[in-house]
Chains A and B, each alone.
Chain A
Amino acid sequence: MSYQLLTVQSETSIVKTLDDKKLYIPFDPDNTDFQEYLEWLAEGNQPLPAD
């Protein structure tokens, strides 16, 4: 499992890759995938930079 930032035309989202499947997660505090991402960050992890 990995996280990577994705910026397209000034819009940034988070791409979570899990078992070869990509999940595009918005920066929305109500989104549970984003909440999981924040918990992952709080554990000291860092996403891969945008390509």
Chain B
Amino acid sequence: MSKIKVNRLENTSTANGGIDIDTSGHVQVDGLQMPTAGALSNRNLIINGAMQVAQRGTSQTGAGYGSIDRFSLSLSGATATMSQESFTLGQTDVPGADKYLKLDVSTGNNNSGIFYKIEAQNVYHVINNTVTLSYYAKGTSPTNGLKVGIMWYDGSNPSTRVTESVTLTNSWVKYTHTFTVPSISGITLTNSAAFLEVSMTQDNGDTGTAAYEVNLAQVQLEVGSKATPFEHESYGQTLAKCQKYFYRKLAFNAQPVWLYSDTAGSTQIHFPTEMRANPTFSYSGTLATDINIYYGPSAAYRSFSGLGGSAASRQSARIDVTGISPAVTAGYSLGLYVFNNAYLDFDAEL
């Protein structure tokens, strides 16, 4: 078999573009990096890397999940606000982006920052492999730099964490980090609690309290040693992926509640996608004010004192309405209404 050995193929009339082949054999087409490993689509292992979905709200000051879906805030003694921010449409600093994550740390501490957990079963193919993390960022870094890294955790045991240090500037810059995925020796990745964690934090050894700010967009983690262009997907696709981990059911009317006694009844809420685990249920709003029950035979709303989840699967939850007053007739039904800014939450996050 004959070979053509060239570094570049291009049209005779062009000064750039065409096909470039680097010394490792990796290929760029018209300036865009082609994958060095893995599939051509569904490359991004990060859900919501475009920061578009924020079911819980656009800002949080508490630790954990609270604003942009799938991205978790670590405080570790720090004081910070994490929020979803908007670009001016058509801006060119981060091509194609309309949202970004802003982490505004007013009082720093070690291990404060941003964490992202990827279900282990979704990344078995990165074991013994190389992955590349890419993102746009700007801002200021903690004194020892912003530590960007990955590690495994099986619910009990961590792997080593591989990190690189970044010093952010006041301009949007695309950063890439190629990591050799840490060994899974001693880690049980079949645990339901196992995950691969991506972190962007103040260094563990840096207990300084200086403020810092991280603005972050288009986060992508992919198999291989090169960063390919950010993989855009529709809002609906991303929302459906996020709802595997968290589902907020917003205002609705007249959800039937079957009355199994004269003071209590139950209803079934079906999730739009199967969740990662049977979810934890909670609600926001005042019962009998923002969340109401309507009793048809009396043509009136009834007071009630409890709204709880007593049984759940990954596909639906049973919600009980209790303490109905005055009493109703067992066997009849009610309508459940969630008004105003009230909502029901189902949480199956890692």
Identify the A interface with B (CB < 8 A): 6-9, 11-13, 15, 21-26, 28-33, 35
Q: Tell me whether B260 and A22 are in contact (CB under 8 A).
A: no
| A interface, over-half SS | strand
Q: Tell me whether A31 and B311 are in contact (CB under 8 A).
A: no
**Which chain A residues lie closer than 8 Å to B281 at the CB level?**
23-24
- Does B269 reach chain A (CB closer than 8 Å)? no
Q: Tell me whether B155 and A15 are in contact (CB under 8 A).
A: no
Looking across the interface, which residue of chain A has its beta carbon closest to that of B284? A21
Identify the B interface with A (CB < 8 A): 155, 192-193, 260, 264, 266, 276-282, 308-312, 318, 320, 322, 347-350
The residue that A35 contacts in the complex, of B155, B310, B311, with Cβ under 8 A, is: B155
**Which chain A residues lie closer than 8 Å to B155 at the CB level?**
35
**Which chain B residues lie closer than 8 Å to A9 at the CB level?**
260, 266, 310, 320
Looking across the interface, which residue of chain A has its beta carbon closest to that of B193? A35
A18 to B: closest C-beta gap in Å: 9
Separation of A13 and B311 alpha carbons in the complex (Å) = 7
Looking across the interface, which residue of chain B has its beta carbon closest to that of A29? B192
Looking across the interface, which residue of chain A has its beta carbon closest to that of B309? A24
Which 5 pairs between the two chains have the least Cβ-Cβ distance? Answer: A30-B277, A28-B278, A24-B309, A30-B192, A8-B310
A–B complex contacts, Cβ < 8 Å, 13 sampled: A7-B310, A8-B264, A8-B266, A9-B260, A9-B266, A11-B310, A13-B310, A15-B308, A23-B282, A24-B308, A26-B279, A26-B312, A30-B277
